[in-house]
Amino acid sequence: MSISREQLMRYHDGELSEAEARRVESALDQDPALLEELEAYSELGSFVRVWDQSNASKLASFDISDSVLSAIEPRRARVHSLLPRIATWVSLSAAIAAGSVLVVRSWSAAPLPPPCSVSAERAEQARHDGTASPSASAPELSVAAVLEAVALDGAVARDPSPPPPATIESVDFGSNAGEVFVLSTDTSETPVVWMPDDGDPDEDNEDRSE
Amino acid sequence: MRRVSLALCSLVAVLTLPAYAADAPRAPGAASAHAGGSAAPAPSAHPPAELPLVAEVLILHATNEQKGIDPRIGKLPELGKPPFSNYDSYQVLDRVRLPLKKDAPQNLKLPNGRTLQVRLLDELGPDSVRLSASINRPSGKEFLPLLEVKAHVGQAFIVAGQSHKKGILVLVIRVVK
């Protein structure tokens, strides 16, 4: 007759039926090893009960959150140590972005005329065109005006042509002889009024003879 | 890590500071500071102060005395072209700056005793003017009664031909700020 370990443990715990219990008892009578095993179960059960009684207060106050927190504490510490680095990188990136915006703005955009001058010029133009409105003279700053000013500045910057040369609008030689001509050089065109002396002496008797 | 951050910060500073430096000359006080050397820049919120227009008169004496061209004249290629190339020597007699103000004619005594009068007639734009010039004899009698010129800043016109000490006078009149 063979008795399994499970049956022996259930017998020890008093969970077997009477027929099964009798069968286990007859096996115990015949097999001393099985009896020793049963005694071992009894000793183990006593030990567990004693341990259970002595640690009951500890088990009652056991809090799993402490264990979890103590387990993850090193990771929290790592996260804390990463924060300053992340902050440094974020601020550094912001500084680079701001600096880039400033550089691009200062290198690419021509200086804007004062907003008031833009609107004043527009108002003046409107007055000349006869389209001045009551609000035309009031200083105003619109996006269109600023964009127009930027476009004009860009056009001026792209146009390398120099302003027209000085021009002589009128000349009166009086009773003297003279001529007007333009001297062209590689870099300029200069109007010249050539007016030699008429030979009449000035009244201060200064010698102007060649 | 810290070295990389430091290097990046330095790069940002190097790229950013010239942007502010480039803005500085556009400040209204910059021109006066450059000229005077001690004026503090004005706040950038104010519009730039207009520099006064000036007629710079360069009085040259052209002769054939084989003295060459006065280095103080600077670059004036017109002197190498006729009729100015008929003279081999040009000397600076005077260089005068006459402020151009409306209704305020400016008189300049010439080396030959005559008087050059320059008057601002109109400001056609921020850098463009219309001005008049005339030359009178010492008696008050007119030599060149009237000359009206329209010029931009930096442009010049020349009045030449008056006899003076074995040569002629060449007046180079340039509008500057």
Tell me how far apart the alpha carbons of residues A12 and A45 are, in angstroms, rounded to a whole number. 10
Better-predicted residue by pLDDT, A104 or B72:
B72
A51 and A17 in a common domain: yes
Write the single-letter amino acid at B46.
Answer: H
Please say if the pLDDT value at position B130 is more than 90: yes
User: What range does the domain containing A134 cover?
Assistant: 115-158
Lowest mean pLDDT among A153-157, B38-42, B100-104, B145-149: B38-42
Better-predicted residue by pLDDT, B31 or A6:
A6
* Contact assignment for A206 to B22 by CB distance below 8 Å: no
Domain boundary pick from A73, A108, A143: A108
A77 and A54 in a common domain: no
Residues of chain A where predicted confidence (pLDDT) is lower than 50: 108-147, 149-157, 205, 207, 209-210
Tell me how far apart the alpha carbons of residues A99 and B8 are, in angstroms, rounded to a whole number. 11
Q: Report pTM.
A: 0.47
pLDDT, position A90: 78
Average pLDDT, chain B: 79
pLDDT, position B151: 93
Interface membership of B137 toward A (CB under 8 Å): yes
* Contact assignment for B149 to A191 by CB distance below 8 Å: yes
A88 and A69 in a common domain: yes
Lowest mean pLDDT among A195-204, B10-19, B37-46, B148-157: B37-46
pLDDT, position B48: 57
Give the E-state strand segments of chain B in sequence order: 54-63, 89-99, 106-109, 115-125, 128-136, 142-152, 156-163, 168-176
The helix or strand, by DSSP H or E, that contains position A123, with its residue range, turns out to be: helix A115-129
pLDDT, position B126: 83
Q: Which chain A residue is nearest to residue B130, measuring alpha carbons? A: A169
Q: Confirm whether A193 is domain-assigned.
A: no
Q: Confirm whether A94 is domain-assigned.
A: yes
Interface membership of B111 toward A (CB under 8 Å): no
pLDDT, position B146: 93
* Contact assignment for A178 to B149 by CB distance below 8 Å: no
Q: Which of residues 163-192 of A touch B (CB under 8 A)?
A: 163-174, 176, 178, 183, 185-188, 190-192
Using an 8 Å Cβ cutoff, are B111 and B122 in contact? no
Tell me how far apart the alpha carbons of residues A112 and A150 are, in angstroms, rounded to a whole number. 7
HSE at residue B171, side-chain half, CA atoms within 13 A, is 31
pLDDT, position A130: 41
Please say if the pLDDT value at position B15 is more than 60: no
Between the alpha carbon of residue B18 and those of residues A50, A92, A102, A130, B22, the distances in Å are 83, 19, 10, 45, 6
Q: Confirm whether A176 is domain-assigned.
A: no
A54 and A11 in a common domain: yes
pLDDT, position A107: 53
Please tell me the total count of domains within chain A: 3
Burial of residue B162 (number of CB atoms within 10 Å: 0-12, 13-18, 19+): buried
A122 and A154 in a common domain: yes
Long-range contacts (CB closer than 8 Å, 24 or more residues apart) made by B141-145: B141/A203, B142/A174, B143/A174, B143/A176, B143/A195, B143/B114, B144/A171, B144/A172, B144/A173, B144/A174, B144/A176, B144/A178, B144/A193, B144/A195, B145/A172, B145/A173, B145/A174
Q: What's the average model confidence in pLDDT over B109-131? A: 92
Cis peptide before B83 (omega within 30 of 0): yes
Q: Measure CA of the first residue to CA of the last residue in chain B; give whole Å.
A: 54
Tell me how far apart the alpha carbons of residues B138 and B143 are, in angstroms, rounded to a whole number. 10
Using an 8 Å Cβ cutoff, are B100 and B106 in contact? yes
pLDDT, position A161: 65
Confidence bin at B177 (pLDDT 50/70/90): confident
* Contact assignment for A187 to B163 by CB distance below 8 Å: no
Please say if the pLDDT value at position B38 is more than 50: no
* Contact assignment for B147 to A166 by CB distance below 8 Å: no
Please say if the pLDDT value at position B78 is more than 90: yes
Q: Confirm whether A194 is domain-assigned.
A: no
For residue A111, report the phi and psi dihedrals to the nearest 5 degrees: -60, 135
Q: Which residues of B touch A207 (CB under 8 A)?
A: 165
Q: Which of residues 29-88 of B touch A (CB under 8 A)?
A: 47, 77-78, 81, 83-84
Domain boundary pick from A24, A43, A60: A60
